[in-house]
Amino acid sequence: MTEITVRRLTEEDWVDYREVRLRALKESPEAFVASVEEENDFPEERWRDRMRRSQRLLAQRDKDAVGVASIGTEGTAEDSVGELFGLWVHPDQRGTGVARRLLEAAARTAREDDLHHLVYWVGTDNGRAVAFASSFGFRPTDNRRPMRLRGVEEDEDATEMAMVLPVGSSSGDIPTSL
């Protein structure tokens, strides 16, 4: 298999991000709050705004997009904390190292942006995701919130937990307010 590359997208790469985001929403609708129907008709400016708001990482193999992840600080309680979200890997590429390469790039990007911690919200009943994040160094916390995914609204017991990865030079204690 050829090498996996991950590149940080810029605002000018909004079309690349749009394509992989819509593919992710179509392939894995249960994994996202939004739907492909909602986002398909977003105008260019809305996509560009998304690119300015958060860092977007695109995983490629042979120049084909095979995964994506985002890092943002909007909604985090501390300036030194970023949130990893929108992680998606093409089904044919799962288990081939794409997710790990995206997490490596996310940690590197967070350090470059002077963040000290990355928060990743994971479904408490998603043992595979919890195990994967833990294997990368994310630590579970006591912070919980209701699950925010499409089709989960009716299950009041579905929750996500914050998992935290120290990434900065002064990453010390896990932040208490996420």
For the entire predicted model, the pTM comes to 0.89
Q: What is the pLDDT of residue 46?
A: 97
Q: What is the pLDDT of residue 83?
A: 95
Q: What is the pLDDT of residue 172?
A: 56
From first to last of its 178 residues, what are the pLDDT tens digits of the chain? 689 999 999 999 999 999 999 999 999 998 888 999 999 999 999 999 999 999 999 999 999 999 999 999 987 777 899 999 999 999 999 999 999 999 999 999 999 999 999 999 999 988 989 999 999 999 999 999 998 765 545 556 789 999 999 998 665 555 555 5
Q: What is the pLDDT of residue 134?
A: 96
Q: What is the pLDDT of residue 151?
A: 55
Q: What is the pLDDT of residue 149?
A: 61
- Tokens encoding 113: 């942006």
Q: What is the pLDDT of residue 175?
A: 54
- Tokens encoding 32: 């996202």
Q: What is the pLDDT of residue 21?
A: 97
Q: What is the pLDDT of residue 158?
A: 84
Q: In this structure, what are the phi and psi dihedrals at residue 86, rounded to the nearest 5 degrees? A: 65, 25
DSSP code string of 26-84: HH-GGG-SS-HHHHTT--HHHHHHHHHHSEEEEEEETTEEEEEEEEE-TT-SSTTEEEE
Q: Are residues 71 and 118 in contact, defined by beta-carbon separation less than 8 angstroms?
A: yes
CA 86, 87, 93, 94: dihedral to nearest 10 degrees? Answer: -130
